[in-house]
Amino acid sequence: MDAMQKIVHYYKLARKWNRWLRRRCRVSVRSGLFSWWVIVLVLLNTLAIATEHHQQSQRLTSWQDNGNKLLLSMFAVEMLMKMYALGLPSYFLSLFNRFDCFVVSTGVAELVLVHAGVMSVMGISVLRCIRLLRLLKVTKYWTSLSNLVASLLNSVRSIACLLLLLFLFIVIFSLLGMQVFGGKFNFPDLPKPRSTFDSFPQALITVFQILTGEDWNAVMYDGIMAHGGPSMPGILVSIYFIILFVVGNFILLNVFLAIAVDNLAEAESLTLAQKEKAEEMKRKKALRANMPDKASEEKANLAKKLAEQRAKGVEVIPTTAKLKIDEFESHVNEIKDPFPPADFPGDDEEEDPEIPESPRPRPMADLQLKEEAVPMPEASSFFIFGPQNKFRKLCHRIINATTFTNIILLFILLSSVSLAAEDPIDPMSFRNQVLASADIVFTSVFTAEIVLKVIPVE
């Protein structure tokens, strides 16, 4: 029995010291000194990585290896302190903490693989490149930069849609360039230019070069000369390059800048909202701290008045009023705080300020637009198929089916791949003959699609 009591006693003592130690760790990881310590470690890690170069001395390699071990140990200590102070559920609730744990874990894995002889110390590996991501830890302790990163992440959907649109634009103009300029940038007295449309990968690079504005006019001049020079019909080729440059550079690429400016405005408004909320919490805390002083002053004044009246021995206060004063005196210590702790989100340091809702309208990407099926007209189609014709109803059901739409999209994709696989230099090659047979199949499918869509609605 004594042994069990000792076990219970030491268990309670251990829990007491554990709570005290976790409280101290929680205060430490939330202090400004801890944040600056982490920032200094990140800067030292960046400096150590920046000193790496080709054919460096063995002494520098050894110094970098030891520095990496020391910095990795410090980052591991930081991670373990946060895990112990916050607890594993609260620690992994933050996406930044998950990212930090991933970077530290890959660093430890890299160290283990190096010692096991699987990879060299200066070998090129993905695990070693992940060390560069430690520089992103600065964003957590820089409020404005953290808000900017959060705004950019919230706009990933819009940026992804724009990237898809830009990719389709590049693919379309690359395929069109292969059909118009493929194998024609061969001039007798001049070397073959690097920017050509002889293959699909080369056409993609050329179109991207034109979009960036890098020597795009030289490519246009080569295209004009390939079709007979600056006269009819060669001068009409310039329309292709002008449309590509204007639409791609002045419209699509500048949309990225518009999205970035919008995100900057949202990040700035978020930073101002956080500052205003922090000032409001400080003001409420100051008022809350002054309330006990006011209550003690009121209590002292009331006690002084009652003492003077009792010393005189005169009942100058009516009974009902005296009962009210006595009731007030008995409850004066129970004056309620007009700002209870629940009104102070700042008291709980784990709670972050809420992100204010943007006054801007909802983007089109967030709207779920449901496409309605086009009803079949009451009039007859081609003066043959009436409104109750079974074949016409069957065609209407087919074109409104999701499977039909997916099949057509698949054939469009296959047709685009066949265009990209053509050889513009040798039109009579075996590959082009096979693709010509496939083109007949694609043409038949698209013709059937047109017929099925025309019959129900014409």
Residue 6 lies in a domain: no
The pLDDT, as a whole number, for residue 205 is 93
Residue 443 lies in a domain: yes
Poorest-pLDDT segment among 65-79, 161-175, 337-351: 337-351
The pLDDT, as a whole number, for residue 351 is 41
Say if residue 245 is in the same domain as residue 191. Answer: yes
Evaluate if residue 157 carries a pLDDT over 80: no
Last residue of a domain, one of 260, 278, 296: 278
The pLDDT, as a whole number, for residue 343 is 40
Evaluate if residue 14 carries a pLDDT over 60: yes
Residue 117 lies in a domain: yes
Say if residue 271 is in the same domain as residue 169. Answer: yes
Q: How many angstroms separate the Cα of 64 from the Cα of each of 100, 116, 199, 367, 382?
A: 21, 18, 45, 52, 81
Residue 350 lies in a domain: no
Poorest-pLDDT segment among 21-30, 42-51, 366-375, 436-445: 366-375
385 and 391 Cβ atoms separated by less than 8 Å: yes
Residue 335 lies in a domain: no
What confidence category does residue 270 fall into, taking pLDDT thresholds of 50, 70 and 90?
Answer: low
What confidence category does residue 207 fall into, taking pLDDT thresholds of 50, 70 and 90?
Answer: very high
In this prediction the pTM is 0.55
Which residues, other chains included, contact 243 with Cβ-Cβ below 8 Å and sequence gap of 6+? Answer: none
- Considering the chain, what is the average pLDDT of its residues? 75
Q: How many angstroms separate the Cα of 281 from the Cα of each of 243, 275, 276, 287, 430?
A: 56, 10, 9, 10, 76
Distance CA 383, CA 226 (A): 51
The pLDDT, as a whole number, for residue 334 is 43
Last residue of a domain, one of 278, 300, 324: 278
Residue 24 lies in a domain: no
* Number of independent structural domains in the chain: 3
The pLDDT, as a whole number, for residue 298 is 65
Residue 89 lies in a domain: yes
Residue 405 lies in a domain: yes
Question: What is the arithmetic mean of pLDDT over 34-61?
Answer: 82
Say if residue 255 is in the same domain as residue 230. Answer: yes
Say if residue 109 is in the same domain as residue 161. Answer: no
Q: pLDDT per residue over 356-374, tens digit each? A: 444 344 444 444 444 566 6
Percentage of residues in the chain having pLDDT higher than 70 = 73
User: What does the DSSP 8-state code read for residue 250?
Assistant: I
Domain region containing 209: 154-278
